[in-house]
Structure 1
Amino acid sequence: MTEQAAPYMSHPRILVHAVMPGKPGSPPFRIVEIDGQVVGEAKAVTDVLEAAAAYGITIHDLDDPDQVRWVGGDKFTWATH
């Protein structure tokens, strides 16, 4: 048998959590973690890229699960349902 029993699970340096509702009058946001540490809030995909750059991480593909893990949506999900 050539298949593995467990699926491959990547461990990217950047984790973007699900969308959180902002305070009244504020836009929703997503919490960003880098290397297991919360580094801030992102209100748009550019905020994720800026946070990564501040930590010396260059992201070439936002859809690559080895670079970024998106929880509760993808790079286009920035509103609560």
Structure 2
Amino acid sequence: MTEIASPFISQPRILVLGVMTGKPGAPPFRIVEIDGEVVCQARAITDVLEVAASHGIKVHDLDDPAVVCWVGGDKFTWRPRPSRR
């Protein structure tokens, strides 16, 4: 049996960044990257699924870190966190 010194760590194809606020009055959004390229501003989880499908990615489990990396919150985080003073 042959083993390598370090295990293979895969990069997820989909990266969803933290919640951002845009122009005043506009709803908050999260930037979505696929394969390292910015592809959209998602305002809901359905936007992430739609853009993944448009790039030929089938997402069966949004909690699988090998498929989607959620930065600054999970799949249910779509509002900015309140600021602490």
> What range describes the TM-score normalised by the shorter chain of this pair?
0.7 to 0.9
Q: Partner of 2:33 in structure 1?
A: 33
Q: How many residues align?
A: 77
> Percent same amino acid at aligned positions?
68
Q: How far apart, in 1, do the equivalents of 2:8 and 2:76 lie?
A: 24
Amino acid corresponding to residue 33 of structure 1 in structure 2: E
Could you list the per-position Cα deviations for residues 6-57 of structure 1 after superposition, in whole angstroms to 9, with x for gaps in the alignment? 7874410000000001211110000000000000100000000000000000
Query: What TM-score do the two structures reach when normalised by structure 2?
Result: 0.84
Q: How far apart, in 2, do the equivalents of 1:52 and 1:68 lie?
A: 10
Gaps of 5+ in 1: 1-5
Q: Partner of 1:68 in structure 2?
A: 68
Cα RMSD of the aligned pairs, angstroms, is 1.7
Name which one, 1 or 2, has greater alpha-carbon Rg.
Answer: 2
Gaps of 5+ in 2: 1-5
Moved over 3 A (4+): 6-10
Q: Partner of 1:55 in structure 2?
A: 55
Query: What TM-score do the two structures reach when normalised by structure 1?
Result: 0.88
Kindly indicate whether the alpha-carbon contact (under 8 Å) linking 1:29 and 1:43 is maintained by their aligned counterparts in 2: yes
